[in-house]
Structure 1
Amino acid sequence: MNSIIAVFHQYSKTSSNLIDPQGIVLLCSDLDVSRTDITILMLAWKMKAEKQGYFTQEEWTRGLMALRADTLDKLRKALPELEKEVRTPSNFADFYAYTFRYSLTEKEQESIDIETICQLLDIVVGSTFRPQVDYFVEYLKIQNDYKVINMDQWMGFYRFCNEISFPDMSEYNPGPAWPLLLNNFVEWIRDKQA
């Protein structure tokens, strides 16, 4: 435990007792990971971090104990196993939902702007569902009906990626089971393919 806290203090600000965005940049550098890499989101998920860009000592301790990493070197070596854990289907759905909640910048906030959503989609599911993400990001950037995305729409897209064959989408049935945003998206793709 003392070792985990000692590593925490290498990156935390003494005044706030938090690892802030500057500390996370330094941590990423020491871990040889880009700060926009999905690995940092996975680490935040493991810690159950609540505020984007910040880790409390409690969150840090919880995450590193779960990873059995009490040094920076052990943390670096634990990251590939963490990625395997996150990528199991049961954990990935939770991680995907967590990513949305973690990206909300204010407590009362319920939606995220389109530009941020496009970046998150690329980082979180781009490697798994590349064609769907590329089309959806293109659609989000050209449509004028939505300025933000809510959790229902975010989770609806994940369900769409997992349940609907792409690009034919023959089994897609627009209706109340899907957010209107996805009905519009599918209609846009079908028009584009016609």
Structure 2
Amino acid sequence: MGKCLSCCQSNQAGSVPEKHLKHQESSRTVEFSGASVPSNNCGGSQILRSSNRELSAPVVSSNGEMHISTSSKSTLGFAEKLMFHPRIPPIRSGSTDKKRSSHSGRDYSESKIHALFDQYKDSQEDAILSEGIERLCQDLDVKPEEFRVLVLAWKFGAEQMCCFTHEEFVIGCKALHVDSIQGIRSKFPEMLAEVQNPEKFKDLYRFTYRFGLEVGQRILPAEMAIQLWKLIFSIKEPSILKRWLVFLEKHPNIRGIPRDTWNMFLNFTESVGDDLSCYDDTEAWPSLFDDFVEFENDQTNQNVLQNKEIEELE
């Protein structure tokens, strides 16, 4: 009792015994299951650091200090209540989330696309040929000669008419994010809206020439070109189209349309006026356009002469 009082008196005088200093320095934290518990300064209680030893219940000394003795055979007792659960690592938003987002973003099934292709494919070829194209169009509620079918072939990147290869069909359905007849049908308004863009229509227009060629052909036959011009301009027809087609039909000697002539005709329809008054024969137009303008002027002059003759007769 006197020893404890002397310790208190010496603490009040500022001289702390060396053994208490060492005891305090070593009594900062206690580790439980790999986690350290900070010391609690309230009431002057301190928790000893122990890595491999078990802790017993705290003991309050006569001078008011709380001590936790260690013993390899003692149970945890009160210290058991101070146990902390191991820290749970945070959930990382890494590759797992990316996989989930990419999977959830896929709104089509590749296996369904292959199964859809098999419904229409030819029995001898790994492609959808004429008969299969007709059945496909029937299920899509369209006609094979419709503008929508041409746009669909453009989206599929078809190499030739009346044929969808396995690769073209699968890649096209993936690009449209569809795997069913209903899915393809639902995309028609979107595709038609897309080709309203001048650049997209220009791409479709140039695709149509290649689409009309048969295997080994380099020049589009005039009869096929006439049909394709009617088809590609079925939504928005240039004012000179009908006169142009009449000119071709009245000149059977024009057997084929070169690629350059086909491509330049789109520019031609946009450059000349309804009466061809804006046509400049000094520009680098194909010679076939010169023949057309001359033919149209002759037709106009003949109409004028005929009208005069009629007036004179009256």
TM-score between the two structures when normalised by the length of structure 2: 0.59
- In structure 1, the residue matched to 2:211 is 102
Whose helix proportion is higher, 1 or 2?
1
Match of 2:185 among 71, 76, 83: 76
- In structure 2, the residue matched to 1:66 is 175
Partner Cα separation in structure 1 for residue 155 and residue 252 of structure 2: 36
Partner Cα separation in structure 1 for residue 234 and residue 285 of structure 2: 21
Counterpart residue identity of residue 293, structure 2: V
Instruction: Kindly indicate whether the alpha-carbon contact (under 8 Å) linking 2:158 and 2:211 is maintained by their aligned counterparts in 1.
Output: yes
Q: 1:149 aligned to 2:254?
A: no
Partner Cα separation in structure 1 for residue 252 and residue 112 of structure 2: 52
**SS at structure 2 position matched to 1:106:** coil
Greater length-normalized contact order (CA 8 Å, ≥ 6 residues apart): 1
The alpha-carbon distance between structure 1 residues 127 and 86, as it changes in their structure 2 partners (threshold 3 A), is: closer
- In structure 1, the residue matched to 2:137 is 28
- In structure 2, the residue matched to 1:182 is 289
Partner Cα separation in structure 1 for residue 234 and residue 141 of structure 2: 21
Q: 1:131 aligned to 2:239?
A: yes
- In structure 1, the residue matched to 2:155 is 46
Partner Cα separation in structure 2 for residue 48 and residue 179 of structure 1: 28
Q: 1:192 aligned to 2:306?
A: no
Instruction: Kindly indicate whether the alpha-carbon contact (under 8 Å) linking 1:126 and 1:133 is maintained by their aligned counterparts in 2.
Output: no
Structure 1 runs of 4+ aligned residues shifted over 4 Å read none
Q: 1:173 aligned to 2:288?
A: no
**SS at structure 1 position matched to 2:239:** helix
Partner Cα separation in structure 1 for residue 281 and residue 291 of structure 2: 9
Match of 1:11 among 113, 117, 120: 120
Counterpart residue identity of residue 134, structure 1: K
Counterpart residue identity of residue 133, structure 1: L
Counterpart residue identity of residue 155, structure 1: N
Instruction: Kindly indicate whether the alpha-carbon contact (under 8 Å) linking 1:24 and 1:35 is maintained by their aligned counterparts in 2.
Output: yes
Please identify the structure whose Cα radius of gyration is greater: 2
CA shift for structure 1 position 148: 0.9
Partner Cα separation in structure 2 for residue 33 and residue 104 of structure 1: 23
Partner Cα separation in structure 2 for residue 112 and residue 143 of structure 1: 16
CA shift for structure 1 position 37: 0.5
Instruction: Kindly indicate whether the alpha-carbon contact (under 8 Å) linking 1:13 and 1:20 is maintained by their aligned counterparts in 2.
Output: yes
Partner Cα separation in structure 2 for residue 143 and residue 175 of structure 1: 24
Counterpart residue identity of residue 276, structure 2: M
Partner Cα separation in structure 2 for residue 169 and residue 120 of structure 1: 23
Identity in percent: 32
Structure 2: unaligned runs, 5 residues or longer = 1-109, 302-314
1:110-151 deviation line (CA, Å, top 9, x unaligned): 112221111111111143225322111100011244211111
Give the paired residue count: 192
Partner Cα separation in structure 1 for residue 252 and residue 187 of structure 2: 43
Instruction: Kindly indicate whether the alpha-carbon contact (under 8 Å) linking 1:153 and 1:179 is maintained by their aligned counterparts in 2.
Output: yes
- In structure 1, the residue matched to 2:164 is 55
